[in-house]
Amino acid sequence: MELLTEYLAKGFVTMLTISLPCVLVAAGVGLVVGILQAVTQVQEQTIAAAPKIVSVFLTIIVLGMLYISLLTDYFREGTNLAFNVITRSANYVLPEDYYFHSKPFASEMQDTIKGKSGEIDTIMKHPGKIPWSENQFKDKYTPRSKGADPRPNFIETNKMLGR
């Protein structure tokens, strides 16, 4: 687990390494343009935005190959971890007979159609008529609890639209 945490930390460092020069250049250009605007008393916001965009664009062009190499190294290390390190580690891989001794999803995977094979044949021949459907299992109208989202739920919407 600490291996994956270390890899996540390296991802954050890579993200900061890529974004920090752009943010610093934008802040520096913004400071210089702000001082010039204060001196000249020209308070136009578009004047401040254009030099920032151009300077960040030039920063990305100048440092682009460094960014590509950082991201490529990070991707290679991630694929190496995923396909070579974690798959060969006994801590991360389940034993091959894991599902032989335990059935983790047994209750969810049971067949929901109960009945004899004759009923299943009837269902297959008449797909629109469901013989085991009872009124107690159908959707009932229950008012939605009042909370932060006052929109009606699916059943209320169908009731309002008359479906």
* 134-143 pLDDT, tens digit each: 555 555 556 6
Query: pLDDT of 29-60, one tens digit each?
Result: 999 999 998 898 887 878 888 999 999 999 99
Taking 90 as the threshold, does the pLDDT of residue 62 lie above it? yes
Angstrom CA distances, 4 to 12, 21, 70, 73, 111, stand at 13, 27, 18, 16, 38
| Nearest by Cα to 89 from 19, 1, 21 | 1
Rounded Cα distance between 51 and 36, Å, is 12
Rounded Cα distance between 55 and 62, Å, is 10
Question: Quick one: pLDDT at residue 3?
Answer: 82
Rounded Cα distance between 124 and 1, Å, is 49
Per-residue b/e over 77-96, b at no fewer than 16 CB within 10 Å?
A: eeeebeeeeeeeeeeeeeee
Contact 27, 9 (CB under 8 A): no
